[in-house]
Each structure stands twice: as C-alpha cells, then as structure tokens.
Structure 1
Amino acid sequence: MRGCVARWCGGRPRARYVAALLGWSALLALALPRLQSVPRAPPRAPAPPARLLLQSELSASTPTPSPPPAALPATDTRVLSEEQLRAEAERRLPSLPLAYWHKHKDDKNKYYKKKDCAPFPSIYDLEFHNTYWQTLRAKGDVFHLYGAYMDARNASRIGPAVRVLAVHDRIKPTLATHCQLWFEEREAPVVVRNLEYKYVWNSKWGNYRDGPLQPYLLACVLPAEVRHLVPASVSIVANPCDRATNNLRVHNDRPPTPADRKEFAVCVKGLDFLHEDLSVRLVEWIELIRMLGAHKIFFYELQVHPNITKVLDHYNALGVTEVTPVTLPGGQPNLPGLQHMYLKKKTTHKRQMELIPYNDCLYRHMYQYRWLALLDIDEVIVPLEDADWSALMRRALPLSVPAQGKPPRSSYHASNLYYLDSLQHEHAWEEGVPRYMHMLQHVYRTRNFTKPGQYVKAFHETDRVLALHNHFPLACLGGACSSYALDTRLARLQHYRADCVTALSKSCAQLRAQPVRDTALWRWREPLVERATRTLHALGFLPPEPHR
C-alpha cells in the first residue's frame, strides 16, 4: 500500500500530467456555452432562374392596381328639364293649357280693358280639385270643371262654341257665369256670358234634387269677330272682370285632313276593378273589338288590378288603346277600395258620374271618328250577317232613312241578349276552344231579348250628338234625337254577365228559362284564339310557346 501511493503520488512526471488535465478541463468549460448558443442555419433554397429574378424586379417597380370600386345602387339619376316637366304634366292632365301659359306667362297686356280686369291666370293660382278637376266658387255656388272643347259642327244652331263639362250640386243653377276666352291671336280675352246649363241627366232616373253633384254642359258662344279662331283656353267666372281660379285647355283634336277621319272608336267608362283580375278576359275582348272594326279604344280608369294595367300598357304601346285616369269630384271618395264600395252602394251617383268620361270621349274624338260606341268590357255588338261593323252599317244605313220631316238619325242601337254564367255552368266545357276564352266558351244565352229599348248599346253619330248617356243620346244638334233599332237578324248586343242586372231580378228567372245554344261568335273563333293566345304569351300570362 505504501509503495502504490508512492508510485502514483510522487515524482515530477505525474505532476505535469495532472496540470495538463486541469488546463484542458478549464478550456472546455469556457467553450461549451458558446457552442450551444450559436443557431443552426436553415438549408438554403436553390436560386431561382434568371427570368423569375427579372420578373420580381419589374413587379417591385410597378405600382399595385387599385381594387374595383364598390357597385352603386341602381337609381334613376336623370334630371328632367322644365320643358320635359311641362310635357309630362300636360300628358297627365290634358285639360291644363300648360304650353299656352308658358308662352304667355310674362306678357304684360293679357287682361280685359284694364290691368285688374280679367287678368290672365297663372297656373299656380288655379284651384285644382281631386287632381283632374278645377273649381269655380262664387256667391255660395261651387262648380267643378272637367274639360273644355271646341264645337264647330255644322249641325249646331248656336254656331261655334266652347262646351265646358262640369258638375254642380243644384238641379237648376241660377248663377250667371261668364267665359273668359283666351286666344293665341289676341292679347286680351274675349268675354261672353255662358249661354246655358245643359242638364246631362234625366229627372226620372233619380237624384233629382239639390245636393248630389249633377252633370252639366256649359256653352260659351264665340262672337262674330272671333268665329274663325279657336280659343287656346277658357276660364269660367261669375263676373266678367273676376280673377279666374280655373283655366281649361280647349280641345280641338282634328285629323290632318277630312280623309283621315276613321269610322269607329269605342269609349269605356271608368274601370273599377281594383281586386278583380280580368286581364285575360280583357285581352279576348280587345282583340274581338279590333277585329270587328274599332280603330281605337278609349279607356277611362278609376282603380284597376295590376294585371289589367299590364294589359293596357301593352295595347297603349301598340297604339290600340288610350287610357285616361279619372277621379270622382266633390266630397266623393277616391281612396282605393273605399271608392269601389261607394260606387257599389250609390248606384245613381255612379251612373251620373259615368257621364263625365262618356261625354269627354265624345268631345275629344268627335272630329276623328264618325261613330262612337259606348261599351263595357263584358259586351259587344255582334253582326250576324256581315264580317264587321263597317259592313253592317253599309247594310243598315239605306234601311234607316227617316220618313220625310223626321230628324236625321243620331244613333243605331242593338238589342240586348244575355249570355249568363249560370246558363253555362249547367254544361261542359266547349271542345276546340281554350278554357281561358270566356266569350267563346259561353255559348248559352237567354231565349228572349230584354224589352225594346232596355239595356241597348249603339253606334252614335258624332256629327249629331250633343250629350251622351250609356244607352241613348240625351240631346242632339239640330233638333230631336232619333235612334234606329238595328234588326235583330242583322246585329245584337251580346252581354256576358254572371247574372241579370239588379233591376231585372224579378224577370230574370223568366229570361233564364229555356236557354238557347248560340255560337254566333264562333265565326271569328280561329283568328280570335290565335290573336288572344299570342298576346297572352307575350304578356307572360301563358308560358312561352315551344320553339318549332
């Protein structure tokens, strides 16, 4: 033991070995922390090709394009000029003389005798009522004025005159009124007294009392010095020098030449079908009326279903129809829905107000057409021996010549036959006729006509008629009216109703007894089906036709 220790612990070589071992240990202790803190470099990616390097240099030097702007809402950004606004207002309100007013609104001499006597009224001082009416208030009386018309027909005994269509709440107006007539050719107005209040109603039909609004025609006769002229507008006032609160454009709608005058047009009273979609039936009716010879159909509109508007817009664009919106005057309701309820309950008021559009249609188109028919969209005058109305009238005119000393004919009326829904419901659908063709499907009628003169419809001579009612003229130029009854073997009025009118409720059962199958309308079946179906496809009421 002593020897071993002496061998390892003693001697100079062993001391040098121990010193070397201690020095290496110190160096290792100093280097190890540094080696652990050096991060390991990631593997280097291969260098890109030279072309990519070039592209990245170019992209770095080119600015990044901006993102596309956000889409804006699709709004109408058009701005109408004053001239366009005037044209639109005149289209919507034909009785307003906007063009004439704009041309002369700054004239300093448009007054009667002195500046404060009958000055030319500004449209901004007019009193409008229910959109389409203008008002005269004087001495406790109120007149609502609808339209004014130049009447220079040869048969008129009073000579050229401006007729004014109005309503008033008195059955015998006593207020003396005057007409301020304005001309393009004269600065000062021509002032004349209103000649008459022509009552456009019959006292036996009801409402013959003060209170309900009554329809009238006023007459402003042109003095000799201006009979060769046509007034541009007219104002109705109580006293000649009054400042007017109304100013109506005078309609004088003539064809370019007498040869351009057409034969037939149809007038339809204010449509009141807000919740009834009669669009498909209306297409069938319009196409039939066109085939029978109507050059144009003039509709007046109260409230209608959107699909009816769609049909009328289609035919308006074709020039087949023209639609004029109307309202009820005075305190009568014009709210959609309530108006319909009112007209259904107040049937006499309704009949009186229907005479406004009928007579407006007469006076606006009397120079353009020889005959006007006042029809509802569920009735049609059907020729039985002729292809159309023109051929029918060529046959009827020689037969209708009045006896010597009698007044000339003012209208030619067709007797009424009912094609009732209740008659058709007892039978099956007609083969070979689309089920949506209402009139062609309804081929069962009452055996008898209604009594002579009851519920007839007529072709009215526009050269003779002064005032119109649904069925007959109420007054005629040059003397008494004279209506000729068309032979029932030549023509008849076919009336397609659910049931008889209320006034015939007691005799309706007798009329319905022993119905007759009658396909007189089928003479036009093929072309009528083709035309109506094509229109229904175009309007989207029927699916698109398959390509052939």
Structure 2
Amino acid sequence: MQRKLALLIGIGALTVLLMLRWDHVMTLVNLMSSKQPSAEPELPPDTITPIPGSRHLMVSAFKDHRLGGAIRVSSIICRQELQPLYCVLCANTDAKAVGALNQCAFSQAKVDVHSESFGFPFVTSDVLCMSPALQQATHVSITANPYANLTFLSIHNQEVKESFRYNFTVCISSLFGEYNNALQFAQTMEMYKLIGVQRVVIYNTSCGPDIEKILKYYRKEGMLEVVPWPIDKFLTPSTGWKYDLHPGDIHYYGQLTTLNECIYRYMYQSKYLLLNDIDEIIMPYKHANLEKLMGTLQQEHPNAGVFRFENHLFPKTQFDDSGRFRLPRWRSVPGVNILEHVYREPSRKDVFKEWKLIINPRSVEQTSVHSTLKQFGLVFKVPSDVCRIIHVREPRQAQLSKDQLFVDKKLWEFEELLIPSIDRALNESGVL
C-alpha cells in the first residue's frame, strides 16, 4: 500500500513538473504570438540590442557549421552578473510563421565568455544555441526573461561556401572620439588597394567631418563597409586597453567584440582577413602583394590558419629630411602624412610585441587583439624580413635620435601609382 502511495505521489509530482515546464514554454510562445501573430519577426533597429532581463547585449547571429550547426550569437556579457540565458529559435520560412508553436523552439543557452577581457566587467562572449529540431532556424532571440518582449536577430552564414567574393578583407575594430586623421586614412586605403585588399570593414562609433567624407567616398566606390557601432549608448566605453589606467565598462570601445563579429560577418565572404588598426599597414617586404605573400606562406605551412606579423613603429615625430613628399596640396588635409616618416624604431627583445594577424576566418573561433584565443589550425609567426606592420604613430622610444633609427622607405616603392590615387580620393571626397 505504501509503495503504491509513493508511486502515485511520484507520478503526480512528475506530471506537475511537466505541466509547469510546458506552461512555461507555452507562455513564452503565446506572448510571441500575441505580439506579432502574422508578421515578420521584430528586428533590431541597431547593431547592438539589450538582452531582456539582464545587463547583457547581443550583436549578431551566425550558424557555425564547424560546431554541428550551432547558432552563435556574438554578445557582450557582464561577467559579474552572469545568469541563465535562453534561446528562442524560429524558422520563418514563409515570413509569417514566427510565433507559431511548431516553428519556434525554446532552450537554455550555453554562454562562452572569452578568456581575454583586460580586466573590464563587460566581456566579449558567444551565446550558443542548439536545437536539433530547428536546423532551419532563420531568426534567434536571447533572453533572461521569457515574459519580456523579444527582438530577433537574423541568422547569417546559413550555407557553407567554398568560393569567396573577396580575397583580402581588412577588419578595423572601431572609430571613436571624433577621429579625423583623414590624410593617413586615405593614404592607407590606397596603399591597401595596391597590395591586393578588396574590402575594408570599419565599426564606427564617431568620427570627424573629414573622415566622414572619406568614408562616404569609399562606401560609394564599393571598397568600404561601415558598420554602425553605438556602444556608447549602452555602456561607458574605455578609451584605452587596460582597466587600471583607462576605466570604463568595456575595453577600448568594444574592440574585441567588433573583431570577433567581423570574423563571422566575413567568414564566407573573404578568403583571408587582416585584423589590425586603422593606422597600420601589413606590408609584404619579399613579395609584390598579399596574394603572393599568402600563397607562399600557405604552401610552406599548409596546416596554418593564423599568421602573426610583428608591429614596427615609425615615429611621426621624425621626418624625412628631403621633404620629397611634403606636398603643398596636402597641407590643408588634417592628419599624418605617412610618406614623410621613413624612420623605424628598432625592435626590443624584452618588450611585448604587438603582433597583428592575417587569418583564414574558417580556422578561427575566437580572437583577441594580438593573438587568437581559439583556432582550428596552427599559428605561424612570420619573420619580419618577409612581412611587417608599418605603424606610424607617437614614438615608443622617444629617447632615440634619428641616427639610432632604421631608414625604411618601403612605401616609396609605390609612389608612381600611390600619389595620383591619394589625390583622386581627397579630391572626389571633397576633403581637398
């Protein structure tokens, strides 16, 4: 008798538990249905979207075929307030099905907080969703509160591609602080064209009026994609890389998030990605262009998917004595004339080298600024005599005199094509 009673109590408890869980799912779906019973899913008006019931943010969503079709949502997570998050995956094949019970799945998400945060409380993260019954999902939402109004992200990278629109794409992490270094930016863009870059992606928080004109010019030309990045509407971004020195909610205007987002955005659009800053040029020294460089490197290191390049600093305080490229027509353009700065600081063995990267995006899962965090292939450090970064900026070794620096006139080799193309960009953009 007691055994029968215990069995009945157990069955009853299980029934109640199942009813409660079903009621939880049905409530969520009904809320979605009542909000938009016969419309396309509500999409975010911006590139950053708050996750309901939390301080976290979601950015964009991609299908990761390397992980069995998991949906990867690029996100920014407050690591001190990590809580259970849930995925709502919907198949919107007929553009009217979101909210229908047989078209949506609700499941707990896996949160993968990136190991690199530089000490800041808000960290680049991946929210991973997996529902075998919904491999055809077209939209996803992340929530900590199933009763909240949901905003859905379109799921990109639905298909694996073996051919790519671009061979080389540069990912520039962020523009902020009314950045207006127009001359150096135009020179860098034109230099990249000459060595084989077909696409540049910039995440823009704010920029100055002259940079705005040049961005418009390159967008119209088709070389540039500008991704709005209003991180300052949601968090207090740091203007530096180290929390103790540059306080804020998130590292350097969300640089780590934008770099990782760019990898997935262009995973099936570009054969290679260059991950570097706006004032840097990854320059081949033994090859005519990037295609020949990477052809050689990939042949010599077929299992490598990440190539690291050493940063070499050209102090903008040291000028070429000849004045050969001190062109009068450029004097009215704000910014640094990189052709005047041919003196390079010596490399220091005892100091951290600020490597930058060329990657096969399909070989990388997560990246930091100077190295990848998770990758599927090998990593190769490219010798600096083969290829190095030309980085014109404030000196790091200001105590060195000019005769203690190396003369490096690599950019001058492109003078015949470079100067007219810079002039054309400055004129047609309206900056000159």
TM surpasses 0.5: yes
State the match for 2:142 in structure 1. 236
CA shift, 1:513, in A, is: 7.4
Q: Does 1:269 align with 2:177?
A: no
Per-residue deviation, residues 428-457 of structure 1 (Å, max 9, x unmatched):
243266364822221111122666862111
Q: Indicate the residue corresponding to 1:179 in structure 2.
A: 87
**1:417 aligns to 2:312 (yes or no):** yes
Q: 1:247 aligns with which of 152, 168, 171?
A: 152
1:322–1:267 distance in 2 versus 1, CA, 3 Å: same
Deviations 1:100-144 (A, max 9, x none): xxxxxxxxxxx9657854624549997979x54322344xx4322
Partner of 1:199: 113
Match of 1:168, SS state, is: strand
How many residues matched? 392
1:313 aligns with 2:208: no
Q: Where in structure 2 are there 5+ consecutive unaligned residues? A: 1-23, 331-335
Match of 2:414 among 506, 524, 532: 524
Q: Is 1:162 paired with 2:71? A: yes
Map of 1:380-529 to 2, 5 A cutoff? 380-401=281-302, 408-424=303-319, 427-431=320-324, 434=327, 436=330, 438-448=337-347, 454-477=353-376, 482-500=378-396, 509=399, 514-529=404-419
Deviation, 1:488, is: 1.5
Shift of 1:202: 2.2
Superposition map of 1:37-436 within 5 A? 117=30, 119-120=32-33, 122=36, 131-138=46-53, 141-152=54-65, 156=66, 158-171=67-80, 173=82, 175-185=83-93, 187=100, 188-202=102-116, 205-207=118-120, 212-223=121-132, 225-227=133-135, 229=136, 231-238=137-144, 242-252=147-157, 258-274=162-178, 276-328=179-231, 332-333=235-236, 345-346=246-247, 349-351=250-252, 353-401=254-302, 408-424=303-319, 427-431=320-324, 434=327, 436=330
| Residue type at the aligned position of 1:134 | T
Contact 1:268–1:377 (8 Å) recurs in 2:
yes
Hey, what's the Cα distance between the residues in 2 that align with 1:474 and 1:449? 25
Is the alpha carbon distance of 1:340 and 1:472 closer, same or farther for their aligned partners in structure 2, counting shifts above 3 Å? Answer: closer
SS of 2:173 mapped into structure 1:
strand
Aligned partner of residue 142 in structure 1, secondary structure: coil
User: How far apart, CA to CA, are the structure 1 residues paired with 2:221 and 2:85?
Assistant: 43
Q: Quick check: which one's strand share is greater?
A: 2
Indicate conservation of the 8 Å contact 1:151/1:161, yes or no.
yes
Give 1:331 shift.
5.3
Contact 2:116 2:368 survives alignment (8 Å): no
Between the aligned partners of 2:113 and 2:393, the Cα distance in structure 1 is 31
For residues 282 and 253 of structure 1, the distance between their equivalents in structure 2, rounded to whole angstroms, comes to 34
1:277 partner SS: coil
The DSSP-based 3-state class of the residue aligned with 1:246 is: coil
Kept in 1, the 8 Å contact 2:231–2:253? The answer is no
The TM-score, its normalising length taken from structure 1, stands at 0.64
Tell me the secondary structure at the aligned position of residue 536 of structure 1: helix
Change over 3 Å in CA distance of 1:397–1:452 after alignment to 2: farther
Q: 1:127 to 1:369 in 2, by over 3 A?
A: closer
Change in CA separation of 1:341 and 1:236 when aligned onto 2, cut-off 3 Å: closer
SS at match of 1:259: coil
Could you list the per-position Cα deviations for residues 255-297 of structure 1 after superposition, in whole angstroms to 9, with x for gaps in the alignment? 9x633442210111121241x5312221111111121111110
Residue 532 of structure 1 and its aligned partner are, at CA, apart by 0.6
Please report how far the alpha carbon of residue 509 of structure 1 lies from its aligned counterpart in structure 2 after TM superposition: 3.7
Secondary structure at 2:250 match in 1:
helix
Q: CA deviation at 1:238?
A: 3.8
How far apart in 1 are the matches of 2:249 and 2:388? 27
Q: CA–CA distance in 2 between the matches of 1:260 and 1:125? A: 29
The answer to which structure, 1 or 2, has the higher relative contact order (CA under 8 A, 6+ apart) is: 2
Q: Secondary structure at the match of 1:386?
A: coil
Q: For residue 431 of structure 2, what is the aligned residue in structure 1? A: 541
Output the CA distance in 1 between the equivalents of 2:171 and 2:122: 23
Name the CA distance, whole Å, in 2 between partners of 1:296 and 1:171: 38
Gap change, CA 1:496 and 1:463, over 3 Å in 2: same
Unaligned residue ranges in structure 1 (runs of 5+): 1-110, 402-407, 501-506, 543-548
Shift of 1:383: 0.5
Give, in whole Å, the separation in 2 of the partners of 1:282 and 1:254.
34
Counterpart position of 1:85: none
Distance in 2, Cα, partners of 1:348 & 1:453: 25
1:243 shift after superposition: 4.9
The C-alpha deviation readout for 1:58-104, integer Å capped at 9, x for no partner, is xxxxxxxxxxxxxxxxxxxxxxxxxxxxxxxxxxxxxxxxxxxxxxx
Equivalent pair of 1:215/1:352 in contact (CA under 8 Å): no
Deviation at 1:253, TM superposition (A): 7.2
Instruction: Tell me how far apart the structure 1 counterparts of residues 392 and 264 of structure 2 sit (CA, whole Å).
Output: 29
Deviations 1:363-416 (A, max 9, x none): 111111121112222111110111111100111123324xxxxxx423101111
Percent of counterpart pairs with the same letter?
Answer: 21
From the superposition, tell whether residues 456 and 234 of structure 1 become closer, same or farther in structure 2 (CA, over 3 Å).
same
The structure-2 alpha-carbon separation of the partners of 1:168 and 1:341, relative to structure 1 and needing over 3 Å to count, comes to: closer
Which amino acid letter does the alignment assign opposite residue 373 of structure 2?
A: L
Q: 1:472 to 1:191 in 2, by over 3 A?
A: same
